Amino acid sequence: AASRYRRFLRLCEEWPVEQTKQQRDLGSVLRQRVAQAFREGENTPISDPEACDQMYESLVRIHTNFYKNKYPRLKETTFTGVTVQDCRTILATDLLKQMGDMKKGRWKRLREKFSAKKPEEDLK
């Protein structure tokens, strides 16, 4: 259990955290899940060691871009012509929040701006 815990910790340290995806980043979710799974640290009993090892190997393949390297793409765009950088920009938390605000109607935005309580409370 101790060696498995150390391997997951090393993987968490190596995994980058993407600041543009707050609360939706795979690196931060991985850190939370490892903390939950190994609550007692190195002393945590593991009920299914084979599944634990399989999960670790799968995460390592994702982290090292195993399949990206095994199956290289001919073009760096999707069928729509959107590049990886465009996708990152679109999926950034700030832009998604702005788009969510744009979807709200003018009346709802004004009501939220001047209301002391949240609109969800009005529905109750």
Token look-up 């990886």 returns 84
Check: CB of residue 101 under 8 Å from CB of residue 109: yes
Distance CA 120, CA 122 (A): 5
Can you give the pLDDT at residue 117? 57
Tens digit of each residue's pLDDT (9 = 90 or more) over 2-24:
888 899 889 988 888 777 666 77
The overall pTM is greater than 0.85: no
Check: CB of residue 92 under 8 Å from CB of residue 18: no
Tens digit of each residue's pLDDT (9 = 90 or more) over 60-100:
999 999 998 999 888 776 677 777 777 777 666 666 666 66
Distance CA 12, CA 19 (A): 15
Going by C-alpha positions, the residue among 67, 75, 58, 47 that lies closest to residue 7 is 58
Residue type for 92, please? A
- Domain assignments of the chain as residue spans, ordered by start: 1-72, 74-117
